[in-house]
Amino acid sequence: MVSNAFKEECKGDVQNLKYGTINIKNTSTNITESDDLQEFEINSNCYVNDKFIGTTVAKKAIVKLLNEGEYDLENKDIEVKTGVEVQDDIEYLELGTYTIPKPSTDEVTTETEFTGYDYMLKFDIPYIDDNIYPIRMDNYLESLCEQVGVTLGSKNFPNNDYMIKGNPFTNGETCKTVLSNIVQLTGGFAEIDVDEKLYIRNFDIDGEAVETIDGNNYDEFKPNNMFGPVNSVRIQM
């Protein structure tokens, strides 16, 4: 979570999002914009073929840095943060943990681009069924997460008490396929959050808005009146 001052800075001037840091997990190595970190980009999308129900998309991080043999990111996990200057201090927002399989070039000696993916990649292994049936779907999902080495963040999701009477996966499916089928039954999608845990996400049309963003926040806010006037945008999950 971030402070209200952080949110106001983001809404008031997106140019303030100019600080970043990359930490090689379980080490004291931090790469920041003040030394060798050039830029990074986080791509996150729950939609596949214009659908979100049942999707299990890994978030993608692209990191570019100056590397004269000082940093070894290959086969490492990195933690990414972005920062905003708030009241003469820098407040950071965690953007998750990403696994870097290998650099995009063979020679890691100069400016180098690295691409990593979050822990959703852990589900790309063959599924092994060791459940005792019948089993509740939330317990089934928890068992699946344990198999790949990921913690289930919450067992509270739609249809979590649905009873699975037998193993429906007998054709060499991957854990990712099993996960996709589970989240289809919940009417949502799966994602790895910044705490490295897996969560089932569903759209909430009745809950309170997380933030309200209107035209006063951005100079180029252009409402589309095709479906009537748009005065603000509500962001909620």
Strands (E), the chain: 17-24, 30-32, 37-43, 60-66, 76-86, 89-100, 111-117, 135-136, 151-152, 163-164, 189-192, 197-201, 211-214, 232-235
Q: What is the pLDDT of residue 51?
A: 81
Handedness of CA 33, 83, 207, 200 (dihedral sign): positive
Cis amide bond preceding 229, omega within 30: no
Residue 167 above 50 pLDDT?
Answer: yes
203 pLDDT band, cuts 50/70/90, is: confident
Q: Is the pTM of this model over 0.85?
A: no
Higher pLDDT, 165 or 69: 165
Residue 171 DSSP label: S
83 pLDDT band, cuts 50/70/90, is: confident
> Mean pLDDT across the stretch 20-43?
87
Q: What is the mean pLDDT of the chain?
A: 82
164-168, 174-178, 183-187, 211-215: which range is least confident on average?
Answer: 211-215
